[in-house]
Amino acid sequence: MRAAWLLLPALAALSAYYVYLPLPGAVSDPWKLMLLDATFRAVQQTCHLIHSLRLSHHLTVLNYLICTFDKLKSVSSEDIKITDAVFDGVEVRVFEPPSKGDEDLKRSVVYIHGGGWALASARTSLYNNLCRIMAESLNAVVVSVELVPEVWFPEQYHDALRATKHFLQPDVLAEYSVDPSRIAISGDSAGGNLAAAVCQQLSKDEDLPVRPKLQALIYPVLQAFDFNTPSYQQNMNMPVLPRYVMISYWIDYINGDYDLARELLINNHTTLNVGPALSFRTRLNWTSLLPPSFKKNYKPVVQTTGSAAIVEQLPALLDVRAAPLLADDATLARQPRAYVLICENDVLRDDGAMYAARLERAGVPVTLDRFHDCFHGCMIFTMWPTDFSAGVQTRNSYIKWLDENL
């Protein structure tokens, strides 16, 4: 009995140690964020344990847990009609506001969900809820693209592209009463990566009868060239996306080996002796693309010699379809008007900021929406028990921009 009383404070101290994380003063709801992060870390560590015992792939287990937990929540919607469909072999979920008789055609958003190209689903309550609210507030048809788990690049990219191109056909748009001149392509995190890549590919397609009017990218992942940008350095331990987790999502996306992480961490794949990387160096120049306020104590990591074999074996690392930030200026100049949302406390902040700067220089009108107290992934966290003021704040700003520009 007495031993139990001694154990209790020890356990409490241990859990506090596990949960506590020094966060920047500006982040909103810090304790809630620490709890979310600790839960996520504990679940991820369990999945990695199962993985190392060779029982199952860690992403399979993680996805299973996310979807099981998600079933406990229900999202009801009285007004919005929700249907599942298949667009050129790709599953999509369509959210349609009620039709009010003889009204005009509706606006529309193609939405690609986040989750490191491998987790979550268009059917989870987090994304269901977001898309329903978008359909309601914009009175728009929202097409939420489902990504298949357990595949790698370029499958996710091809799926997003196929579903989008199918939807952009005049007869399909007519079927959903969508105005062909008022369509946006959008997505968060890895979905923002796919949205940007899809827009670039559509812009090269000469025969396309209908083109998107806008793109809206929410804290997008846009490059695997440099894992030491100022934001990667400043936020390397930031929940819910520490740098090593982002690097492992990349490794999974391009089907690489986890041992690569050590090399990617120090940019050994894009050193000055790696020929194919050289031409991209000028396109990803933090000195000219980021304002000084982003840099703080930043020290660029540019090594002289590294491993040229990495990019030879995994060309996807420098493939613009996987890393849209590396596109050439001529492609950028053809992109639709853009909205890029970035969070200060996010390793991906500078991916988004640099893409916004490059688009703007190429002559594309861009709105860069920067949130100082927000963290990566916040926009989908708006429902109890993972409700954050950062979630509502970012979502409102995003929907407002769409409303004013679409």
- Residues labelled as active-site residues: 189, 346, 376
Question: Out of 39, 169, 177, 285, which residue is the one contacting ligand NAG (CB under 6 A)?
Answer: 285
Minimum distance, C-beta of residue 307 to ligand NAG, in the bound complex (Å): 5
**Residue 307 found at the interface with ligand NAG (CB under 6 A):** yes
CA separation for the pair 13, 11 (Å, rounded)? 5
Choose the stretch contacting ligand NAG; rule: CB under 6 A; options: 142-150, 157-165, 214-222, 281-289: 281-289
**Residue 309 found at the interface with ligand NAG (CB under 6 A):** no
Choose the stretch contacting ligand NAG; rule: CB under 6 A; options: 9-17, 19-27, 260-268, 373-381: 260-268
SS (H, E, C) 115-172: CCCCCCCCCCHHHHHHHHHHHHHHCEEEEEECCCCCCCCCHHHHHHHHHHHHHCCHHH
Among 264, 178, 174, 171, smallest CA distance to 225 is for: 264
Q: Is 25 exposed, middle or buried (0-12, 13-18, 19+ CB in 10 A)?
A: exposed
State CA 215 to chain mean position distance.
14
Region 365-394 residues binding ligand NAG, contact defined as CB under 6 A:
none
**Residue 270 found at the interface with ligand NAG (CB under 6 A):** no
Q: Name the residue nearer to ligand NAG (CB basis): 237 or 303.
A: 303
CA separation for the pair 27, 373 (Å, rounded)? 4
Choose the stretch contacting ligand NAG; rule: CB under 6 A; options: 72-80, 108-116, 278-286, 310-318: 278-286
Question: Out of 68, 74, 287, 293, which residue is the one contacting ligand NAG (CB under 6 A)?
Answer: 287
Q: Name the residue nearer to ligand NAG (CB basis): 56 or 288.
A: 288
Q: Name the residue nearer to ligand NAG (CB basis): 46 or 285.
A: 285
Q: Name the residue nearer to ligand NAG (CB basis): 79 or 329.
A: 329
Q: Name the residue nearer to ligand NAG (CB basis): 271 or 386.
A: 271
Going through 275-380 in order, the beta strands assigned E by DSSP cover 337-345, 366-375
**Residue 329 found at the interface with ligand NAG (CB under 6 A):** no
Sign of CA dihedral 178, 404, 215, 237: negative
Minimum distance, C-beta of residue 47 to ligand NAG, in the bound complex (Å): 25
Q: Name the residue nearer to ligand NAG (CB basis): 81 or 281.
A: 281
Q: Name the residue nearer to ligand NAG (CB basis): 136 or 263.
A: 263
At 90, is the secondary structure helix, strand, or coil? strand
Question: Out of 204, 281, 372, 400, which residue is the one contacting ligand NAG (CB under 6 A)?
Answer: 281
**Residue 148 found at the interface with ligand NAG (CB under 6 A):** no
**Residue 258 found at the interface with ligand NAG (CB under 6 A):** no
**Residue 263 found at the interface with ligand NAG (CB under 6 A):** yes
CA separation for the pair 246, 350 (Å, rounded)? 14
At 82, is the secondary structure helix, strand, or coil? strand
Minimum distance, C-beta of residue 285 to ligand NAG, in the bound complex (Å): 4
Question: Out of 114, 115, 306, 391, which residue is the one contacting ligand NAG (CB under 6 A)?
Answer: 306
Q: Name the residue nearer to ligand NAG (CB basis): 280 or 375.
A: 280
At 195, is the secondary structure helix, strand, or coil? helix
**Residue 304 found at the interface with ligand NAG (CB under 6 A):** no
Q: Is 297 exposed, middle or buried (0-12, 13-18, 19+ CB in 10 A)?
A: exposed
CA separation for the pair 221, 188 (Å, rounded)? 9
Structure tokens given for 193:
């990566």
Structure tokens given for 146:
């489902």
Question: Out of 52, 68, 83, 282, which residue is the one contacting ligand NAG (CB under 6 A)?
Answer: 282
**Residue 305 found at the interface with ligand NAG (CB under 6 A):** yes
**Residue 288 found at the interface with ligand NAG (CB under 6 A):** yes
**Residue 266 found at the interface with ligand NAG (CB under 6 A):** yes
Angle at 120 between CA 249 and CA 143, to 5 degrees: 115
Sign of CA dihedral 222, 352, 343, 405: negative
Minimum distance, C-beta of residue 347 to ligand NAG, in the bound complex (Å): 19
Instruction: Specify whether the CB–CB gap between 186 and 113 falls below 8 A.
Output: no
Binding region for ligand NAG (CB under 6 A): 262-263, 266, 268, 281-282, 285, 287-288, 305-307
